[in-house]
Amino acid sequence: MQKVIISVIGEDRPGIIAAITGLLYEQDCNLENVSQTLLQSEFAGTFVASVPDGLAVDRLSQMLNAELLNMDLSAHVKTIESGRTDSPVVIGDPFVITTMGPDRKGLVAGMTQVMARHGVNVTDLQAVFKGGDKPEANIMIYEVVVPAETDPAGLDRDLREKAAELDLEINIQHRKIFEMMNRI
């Protein structure tokens, strides 16, 4: 079996996930990971699946796009190379970085550029921008992995300097602490 990653985007409506996963099931594919969200009124989903050897990736792509055509969605299917070892895997501690502040261009770019300089890998990002000057209306939550060799004081200083420059409130917590404090 080969693995594929499937990206699907388009206007949200009920039944999208059912259509995608139903077709994958009918084609004897095994769903391994799913990440789906709504970005304003748009559906954005990513699916990782194992595909049986007899099913060509381009054929799967054609079937998915035909299935999703009447829903005004498009799918992109890409093979994931198995056994690949040249992909950089960041080993370190998981942190959650949250920022809030007035909406303006460059917020995500500014913060992630600092993270990239320190070798920090963003593993998940949720950002909601409702515009205006109300900080609570513009929130970014970065789940990151901070490499063991990163200078934590330098990273903290640089993130706080950039946040101040962008007029953002910032909170940096180890993921375990974040989860404990935000438990319902």
Give pLDDT, residue 81.
83
Residue 112 lies in a domain: yes
Pair 112, 163 in one domain: yes
Pair 97, 167 in one domain: yes
Residue 86 lies in a domain: no
Pair 142, 115 in one domain: yes
Domain termination residue (choose one: 57, 80, 103): 80
Give pLDDT, residue 129.
79
Q: Give this prediction's pTM.
A: 0.74
Closest to 28 (Cα-Cα) out of 45, 50, 46: 50
d(CA 141, CA 128): 9
Q: How far is CA 82 from the centre of its chain?
A: 21
Query: Which of residues 39 and 117 earns the better pLDDT score?
Result: 117
Pair 97, 177 in one domain: yes
Cβ pair 12, 42 in contact under 8 A: yes
Structure confidence at residue 89 as a pLDDT band (50, 70, 90): low
**Which residue range(s) make up the domain with 134?**
92-181
Give pLDDT, residue 85.
47
Give the CATH number for residue 144.
3.30.70.260
Closest to 168 (Cα-Cα) out of 130, 140, 128: 140
Give pLDDT, residue 122.
92
Give pLDDT, residue 138.
85
Query: Which of residues 84 and 89 earns the better pLDDT score?
Result: 89
Give the contacts of 56 (CB within 8 A, at least 6 positions apart): none
For residues 130-141, average pLDDT? 77
Pair 100, 176 in one domain: yes
Pair 16, 64 in one domain: yes
